[in-house]
Chains A and B, each alone.
Chain A
Amino acid sequence: MKSQGISRRNFIKTVGITTALAATGTVPPLLYASERRLVTFPEKTELLLLTSRPPQLETPLKYFRELITPNEALFVRWHLADIPTSVDLATWRLVIHGNVEQQISLSMDDLKKFEKVVYTAVIQCAGNGRSFFNPPVFGGQWLNGAMGNVTWGGVRLKDILNKAGLKTGSMEVVFKGLDKAVLPATPNFLKSLPLDKALEDDIIVAYEMNGRELPMLNGFPVRLVVPGWYATYWVKSLSDIEVGVKPTDSFWVKTAYRIPDNPCGCVEPGTAPKKTVPINRMTTRSLLINPEDGSQLKSGQPVELMGVAFSGGYSIKEVLVSVDGGMNWRPARLGKDIGRYSWIQWFYPWQPAKPGNYHVMVRATNSIGESQPLDALWNPSGYLLNNIEKHNLIVT
């Protein structure tokens, strides 16, 4: 149980350690709402369990000490319980149809004949960090582990669409995967992009994660990659692309995954927005990864604080660090820049002189001046979280 004086993250860490041994073939029962247990799913390492059917699994923060997130550690998030658990590439096809010159049906070999594109991009769930919303909101209560930085390999969506041939009047492109709802009455998951967005050079149909096939739970055999935008658009186990002449009226586009239609995507806490738009680009974020929140350090001993920073498709220009609760800010050293969609690592050498509690804060700014608010902005669905986090480090 959560006791006073233990930070949420520390508590989770403790629970994780004590339950790690219990993680076997079945998912252990949850006793308390705030617990997260480590579980092992096929092709995945031990991840924090949010829900088991459909699977929603979160990456422990320690994996973000590396520039690239390993395939087996990447978070998992499905919407509907009938997820694909078996795919035979001998019969699997990606079908492109709708308002096109000719419907085409591509095998994996056909796909691999298109020019290959490889880049590294952050994938992040729209609701990453939702559990930190105040007042709280319904939805998956993610900590900060519904994200990762992966090198994607695949083919341009544009090349595939051009192969089918777009007819005049095309307005948007609709993407469906192999996952299905349990009940016929439940709207099946699909997402759409406006045609001009869908034709951008960097949007790919990815068949590789970090040079290997995608794990089944991350969308084998292919998933859409929309770098810079939230992962809701990165349709997993993609099997059907339809070019439409009018906007889709699917629940998943018209009602779900929408944000307030204003520059901050926010409203007064507890209120409803008057008008909404589909969620799109990611906000700018920076996170302290090591040492973890609540860690104990020795006074006089040097330590290097490190973390990651990223934004929705624009390079990170600057990361500032404060070790005194926001009074003084100094620039962190940035790691290697491997592209505008990747996260960048930041490092900050520090030698705490005196014992005490230190409040460490980190703030990133991207190349077009987008940064992070001091206080979290609020919206009813729990999206876009990117406030400057306050971490507590205890120096003895």
Chain B
Amino acid sequence: MKTTILLCIGASLVYTTMALAADKGFVMDGTKRTITLPAPSVSLINGPGRDITSSYCNICHSLDYITTQQKFPEARWHAVVTKMVKTYGAPITEMNVDIITHYIATYYGTGK
């Protein structure tokens, strides 16, 4: 009897551990479902303008929005960063738009 109970507890512990592993970041609590998203950990190449680029772009999205793009010239990136300000309301001054644009075009674009 005692052995059976212990075996059952042992088995359910194994089962619980497996369930947790399979549902990583997911919790069901009665009628409430909650997920926990993994933290982004993208870092940009070191260079002039990197910190300004990281801090402003990171307000709204992870930096892989930059790193996964294809190679574009500076004028195209300028249009995109300007869209972030004009369309999406990013609080970036004109001077910082230029710094960000130049940084991205240099390290992730075609350079000009």
Residues of A within 8 A of B (CB): 25-30, 33, 39-43, 49-55, 80-81, 85-90, 131, 136, 138, 140-141, 181-187, 216-217, 220, 251, 255
The answer on a CB contact under 8 Å between B62 and A53 is yes
Contact mask for chain B residues 64-90; partner A; CB cutoff 8 A; 1 contact, 0 none = 110111111000100010000001111
Nearest residue in A to B33 (C-beta to C-beta)?
A: A87
The answer on a CB contact under 8 Å between A255 and B87 is yes
The answer on a CB contact under 8 Å between B69 and A141 is yes
The answer on a CB contact under 8 Å between B37 and A55 is yes
Nearest residue in A to B77 (C-beta to C-beta)?
A: A138
* Choice from B43, B80, B89 contacting A185 with Cβ under 8 Å: B89
Give the tally of cross-chain contacts (CB within 8 A): 127
Q: Across the interface, which residues of A come within 8 angstroms of B70, CB to CB?
A: 33, 131, 136, 141
The answer on a CB contact under 8 Å between A30 and B42 is yes
- Of A86, A181, A251, chain B has the most CB atoms within 10 Å of the CB of A86
Nearest residue in A to B35 (C-beta to C-beta)?
A: A42
Tell me the smallest distance from the CB of B73 to a CB of chain A, in Å.
11
Q: Across the interface, which residues of A come within 8 angstroms of B31, CB to CB?
A: 88-90
Complex alpha-carbon distance, A186 and B60, angstroms: 9
Q: Across the interface, which residues of B come within 8 angstroms of A33, CB to CB?
A: 67-71, 108
Tell me the smallest distance from the CB of B24 to a CB of chain A, in Å.
7
The answer on a CB contact under 8 Å between B59 and A52 is no
* Choice from A81, A141, A187, A251 contacting B61 with Cβ under 8 Å: A81
Tell me the smallest distance from the CB of B108 to a CB of chain A, in Å.
7
The answer on a CB contact under 8 Å between B64 and A50 is yes
Tell me the smallest distance from the CB of A346 to a CB of chain B, in Å.
31
Nearest residue in B to A92 (C-beta to C-beta)?
A: B31
Residues of B within 8 A of A (CB): 23-26, 30-43, 59-62, 64-65, 67-72, 76, 80, 87-91, 108
* Choice from A29, A42, A183, A251 contacting B25 with Cβ under 8 Å: A42
Q: Across the interface, which residues of B come within 8 angstroms of A251, CB to CB?
A: 87
Q: Across the interface, which residues of A come within 8 angstroms of B60, CB to CB?
A: 80-81, 181-183, 186
Nearest residue in B to A136 (C-beta to C-beta)?
A: B70
Q: Across the interface, which residues of A come within 8 angstroms of B30, CB to CB?
A: 90
The answer on a CB contact under 8 Å between A52 and B25 is no
Chain A at the B interface: SS class: loop
The answer on a CB contact under 8 Å between A89 and B32 is yes
**Residues A185 and B88 in contact in the complex (CB < 8 Å), given A33-B71, A81-B61:** yes
Complex alpha-carbon distance, A202 and B85, angstroms: 39
Q: Across the interface, which residues of B come within 8 angstroms of A183, CB to CB?
A: 59-60, 88-91
Nearest residue in A to B65 (C-beta to C-beta)?
A: A51
Q: Across the interface, which residues of B come within 8 angstroms of A50, CB to CB?
A: 64, 68
The 9 closest A-B pairs by CB, nearest first: A185-B89, A42-B25, A42-B35, A52-B40, A53-B62, A88-B32, A136-B70, A86-B34, A89-B31
The answer on a CB contact under 8 Å between A41 and B38 is yes
Tell me the smallest distance from the CB of B98 to a CB of chain A, in Å.
19
The answer on a CB contact under 8 Å between A138 and B80 is yes
Nearest residue in A to B89 (C-beta to C-beta)?
A: A185
The answer on a CB contact under 8 Å between A52 and B68 is no
The answer on a CB contact under 8 Å between A29 and B43 is yes
The answer on a CB contact under 8 Å between A42 and B59 is no
**What are 5 A-to-B residue pairs whose CB atoms are below 8 Å?**
A30-B64, A39-B38, A52-B40, A53-B62, A216-B33
Q: Across the interface, which residues of A come within 8 angstroms of B71, CB to CB?
A: 33, 136
* Choice from A29, A43, A49, A88 contacting B35 with Cβ under 8 Å: A43
The answer on a CB contact under 8 Å between B68 and A51 is yes
Nearest residue in A to B43 (C-beta to C-beta)?
A: A29
The answer on a CB contact under 8 Å between B26 and A42 is yes
The answer on a CB contact under 8 Å between B35 and A182 is no
Tell me the smallest distance from the CB of B27 to a CB of chain A, in Å.
9
The answer on a CB contact under 8 Å between A52 and B69 is no
Tell me the smallest distance from the CB of A329 to a CB of chain B, in Å.
32
Complex alpha-carbon distance, A216 and B39, angstroms: 17
Q: Across the interface, which residues of A come within 8 angstroms of B72, CB to CB?
A: 136, 138
The answer on a CB contact under 8 Å between B40 and A27 is yes
The answer on a CB contact under 8 Å between B68 and A25 is no
The answer on a CB contact under 8 Å between A40 and B24 is yes
Q: Across the interface, which residues of A come within 8 angstroms of B76, CB to CB?
A: 138
Complex alpha-carbon distance, A141 and B36, angstroms: 25
- Of A28, A33, A85, A184, chain B has the most CB atoms within 10 Å of the CB of A33
The answer on a CB contact under 8 Å between B61 and A51 is yes
Q: Across the interface, which residues of B come within 8 angstroms of A40, CB to CB?
A: 24, 38
Complex alpha-carbon distance, A90 and B29, angstroms: 11
Nearest residue in A to B85 (C-beta to C-beta)?
A: A185
* Choice from B39, B69, B90, B108 contacting A138 with Cβ under 8 Å: B69
Complex alpha-carbon distance, A55 and B68, angstroms: 13
* Choice from B26, B33, B40, B68 contacting A141 with Cβ under 8 Å: B68
